Amino acid sequence: MITLLALAPSLALSADSAPATPVRILVVGDSLSAEYGIARNSGWVSLLKRELASADPSVDVVNASISGDTTSGGLTRFAPLLDRLAPAIVVIELGANDGLRGLPVTMARSNLKNMIDLARSRGARVVLVGIQVPPNYGREYSEGFMAMFSELAAGGQAALVPFLFAGLQDSAEYFQADRMHPNEAAQPILLRNVMQVLGPEIKAAQRPVRPK
């Protein structure tokens, strides 16, 4: 099994390191993060939580993902989650269901931007997870949808995971029968893709703020 220490060895604290600042990570996503169709506690967020508990107990992970959720649904429940949990880092993995339903890219972009702005207004760092959609609604729609994530992350508003499924394309053995949802074997790869971006964000969140 791929471990978090192998993915991000910089998260391992040395014996003489100063105590790390506690960090809470909030994951707001859809079925891709909510363990749809796979065994409980086998999804990439569960793997993240388990590995972090071993590597760095100062980091807590809360998974608020809901299968079938859209960017509109995520935005509706986002502020209460921020108020209740006060996360240091928010991972936003939403948009797939907007794309599959052919909802306007402008609407998805607006919803995601509002979520990013809300998180940043509360002092949270943001990791935005990019996804791609099938070309069902035409090339212009799929290209605009894919570009939306990098546009939102531009200017340092959010750290970007370019593509959650990187390394899984055209690999049927990593998908469930619906060919849309990754299976258990794919979850460590999803975690690796996220951790390449999330790992540095965790370290940055743990860095003590020096008085001016």
Active-site residue 98, yes or no?
A: no
Distance CA 74, CA 30 (A): 9
Active-site residue 67, yes or no?
A: no
Please tell me which residue in 31, 33, 46, 65 is annotated as part of the active site: 31
Please tell me which residue in 42, 58, 142, 181 is annotated as part of the active site: 181
Distance CA 161, CA 198 (A): 8
Please tell me which residue in 14, 16, 17, 178 is annotated as part of the active site: 178
CB 26: neighbour CB atoms within 10 A? Answer: 23
Backbone angles phi, psi at 127, to 5 degrees: -115, 120
Active-site residue 181, yes or no?
A: yes
H helix runs in the chain, sequence order: 4-7, 44-55, 71-85, 96-100, 105-121, 139-153, 187-206
Catalytic residue numbers, as ranges: 31, 178, 181
